[in-house]
Structure 1
């Protein structure tokens, strides 16, 4: 290791993503990531529990963003409108990443690995469940809250998939708004 450099966590994240894309997630070790980032394995484990956590480190902030947006919605809105506002905040969260390619590269890594796909689905299900709980806390009936949260999450997932496929040519929040409108027309 050479001279100390700042932002070890950021360097670890960038190094991991580069290596997960080539040579691949399964082929990459924590030692590889640490070496690429110019830190020790011990430093890696100060920032991440394992190599999978590099991809999911933002999950808590993502969920908090959604729940904060749900809490901030005015009274009188429908459960679906409130849940959709949470997903719009999630889309803004993703679009606001300083690295505009991060979400697409992360999605490519996840798409190439079944266990990561499972973890991503679990993360999204957890956010939908937390959203339903937040909607219930706002006074919506539990079943209505669950349906609204799941529908808003489905609209988000579909918009995200279209956005990833567009390779930057489309706006995630606009795609989400279109998806939300489609869900409303189906109801």
Structure 2
């Protein structure tokens, strides 16, 4: 498990054997069953999660009490509620395993100590967050500038394996339309 995280980090910054050992001392492994929550809305988020295996989803309840998927995290991605994590205030979102998941976890109470011992992780996390932010901006662009059908087609072409792994109703929520609409789009001939 920690090897997947270390391999991911090494894509961005080099690590010495000693730095790898330090990292392993600070990172815990957790496993979650399908539909199990890592974080419930109303709790303070005190962990950052790196997905080694599985898929996680971040969601909230809209004003009608309907779940709205905000974000997915697949293998090799980090996820947390940064607002709650940094402020110590209760989270407005929930984090749940879509399928069985194994994650590497960094606890907020230990993060600064880890970063002091392995300073190059600051660069790693900056680069990862920059990429995540760019992806978020691209998603916003697609939401405003693509039709619902085009959003689905683009997403399916970009992440074909992901589309096969995620239940249709969750994918529809993430893309901003109903499962019924998604069924119609998928039924159309290319």
TM over 0.5: no
TM-score range, shorter chain: under 0.3
TM-score, normalised with respect to structure 2: 0.27
- TM-score, normalised with respect to structure 1: 0.28
Structure with bigger strand share is 2
The structure whose RCO (Cα within 8 Å, separation 6+) is larger is: 2
